[in-house]
Amino acid sequence: MEPVTFLTEDGVRLEGELRMPDDPPRGSAIICHAHPRHGGSKDHPVLWSVRNELAGRRGLAALVFNFRGTMGSAGTYGGGRDELRDVRAAIGIVRERAEGPTLVFGWSFGASVALREAFEDERVSALALFGIPLRPNDLALPSLPTPAELRILKRPLLFLGGANDEYCPADDLRAYGEGIAEVMILDGTDHYLWRREREAAAIVGDFADRMLGS
């Protein structure tokens, strides 16, 4: 595991950890964490499992990082708007280390940011999103793209959710991704995927193989 720091376009220094595969990478991935004001950071078992799956088994250079204002990353929380710059910078730094396509994984808040950035960033080859905050409650996040807008995006999409997720209800997720994304619901778990982290990571890894080339 290699600690990395990098700058955003507005001069904010972010921290992350890069894991390279044993063999030359066939692509890259960045991993975006949950809401920084509700305990989200790069240091969560869900994200570790995804990183290990993508680098250890799927041959991708995988970067997990902290959004601005989180742990050792400089700056302040940007309401889900300034964090678009963080994703943009993370894509840039991981692509310096690995040629080929780039998968972006996001969880919750990170899924919202990743999805919105993809509309402006052609370097995003595919998106795997867990727990998209379709019902953000009091989080006051920017609006998500509509299903009609998702059709315009024309990128491979995986929407993953827990059957008991209050922020991303299963029926809402199915409706949001109908005819646009691969939608998978994990029974018996919620927004935090307790004890299902490896299973979810394997689903993301399978998607990466199909979408980025095995």
Residue 15: which residues within 8 A CB-CB, separation 6 or more?
3, 4, 5, 65, 66, 71, 72, 73
Quick check: 10 pLDDT over 70?
A: yes
**Structurally, how many domains does the chain consist of?**
1
Quick check: 182 pLDDT over 80?
A: yes
CATH of the domain at 204: 3.40.50.1820
Maximum C-alpha span of the chain: 44
**How far apart are alpha carbons 151 and 128 in whole angstroms?**
16
- Does pTM surpass 0.75? yes
Contact 13, 162 (CB under 8 A): no
Domain that holds residue 91: 2-212
pLDDT tens sequence across 69-121: 999 999 999 999 999 999 999 999 999 999 999 999 999 999 999 999 999 99
The rounded mean pLDDT for the chain is 95
What pLDDT shows up at residue 214? 57
What pLDDT shows up at residue 195? 84
Contact 176, 152 (CB under 8 A): no
Quick check: 28 pLDDT over 70?
A: yes
Start-to-end CA span in the chain (Å): 24
**How far apart are alpha carbons 28 and 180 in whole angstroms?**
23
Residue 194: which residues within 8 A CB-CB, separation 6 or more?
none
Q: Which whole-number Å values give the CA distances from 95 to 28, 77, 137, in the listed order?
A: 7, 25, 35
Contact 141, 112 (CB under 8 A): yes
Mean pLDDT of 130-149: 89
